[in-house]
């Protein structure tokens, strides 16, 4: 995937224009090198705030360098942390979890998703970007298809889960972006 693919996967889940809250506060969980953090910064625009969470301090530093150059009007707060544990975050308008939930074992996914939901304002949005398969491998151990995500999101108290977009993957067929409110 390239940068435009990242933006396109998120676009339908980020309110824009008159629907966008001023100074929207979002988080990118398991943000890695920041591919989706950059896309989120573009879509939020100046005045947006992002909390970028990852366990890898080197990756967070690389993100910081890229974001300062490309999107200086977006405030980004970097947290070296594990998103599967409780985080000290403000209430969020939304969160993105891209290519990270597939590292959470299936038996723990429900607990983690409920924790993520607790960070959201009423009406908040969770955008999941994931491989659209239910069987993984050594590099993607616990993926979940969109169909499986719909069931899990409902179980965890989300409503109105819908498919936002798909993108091809040479690795495991395709990616999808799903929005749950």
Q: Residue 92 is part of a domain; what is its CATH number?
A: 3.40.50.150
Measured distance CA(85)–CA(116) in Å, rounded: 10
Cβ 173 vs Cβ 132: under 8 Å: yes
pLDDT tens series, the chain, 181 aa = 899 999 999 999 998 766 777 789 999 999 999 999 999 999 998 889 999 999 999 999 999 999 999 998 899 999 999 999 999 999 999 999 999 999 999 999 999 999 999 999 999 999 999 999 999 999 999 999 999 999 999 999 998 999 999 998 877 789 999 999 9
The alpha carbon dihedral of 127, 1, 47, 87 has a sign of: positive
Q: How many CB atoms lie within 10 A of CB 175?
A: 21
Number of domains in the chain: 1
Measured CA to CA in angstroms, residue 129 lies from 58, 90, 148 at distances of: 23, 22, 13
User: In angstroms, rounded to a whole number, what is the distance separating the alpha carbons of residues 128 and 35?
Assistant: 14
The residue segments making up the domain with residue 67 are 3-180
Among residues 171, 100, 83, the alpha carbon closest in space to that of 133 is found at 171
């Amino acid at each position: 995937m390239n940068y435009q693919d990242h933006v396109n996967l998120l676009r339908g889940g980020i309110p824009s224009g008159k629907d966008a809250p001023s100074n929207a506060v979002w988080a990118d969980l398991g943000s890695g090198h920041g591919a989706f953090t950059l896309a989120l910064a573009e879509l939020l625009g100046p005045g947006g705030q992002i909390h970028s969470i990852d366990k890898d301090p080197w990756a967070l530093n690389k993100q910081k360098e890229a974001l300062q150059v490309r999107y200086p009007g977006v405030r980004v707060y970097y947290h070296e942390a594990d998103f599967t544990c409780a985080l000290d975050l403000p209430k969020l308008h939304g969160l993105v979890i891209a290519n990270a939930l597939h590292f959470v074992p299936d038996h723990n996914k429900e607990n983690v998703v409920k924790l993520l939901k607790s960070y959201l304002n009423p009406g908040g949005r969770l955008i999941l970007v994931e491989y659209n398969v239910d069987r993984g491998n050594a590099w993607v151990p616990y993926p979940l298809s969109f169909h499986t995500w719909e069931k899990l999101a409902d179980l965890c108290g989300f409503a109105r889960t819908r498919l936002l977009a798909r993108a091809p993957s040479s690795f495991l067929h395709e990616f999808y972006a799903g929005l749950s409110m």
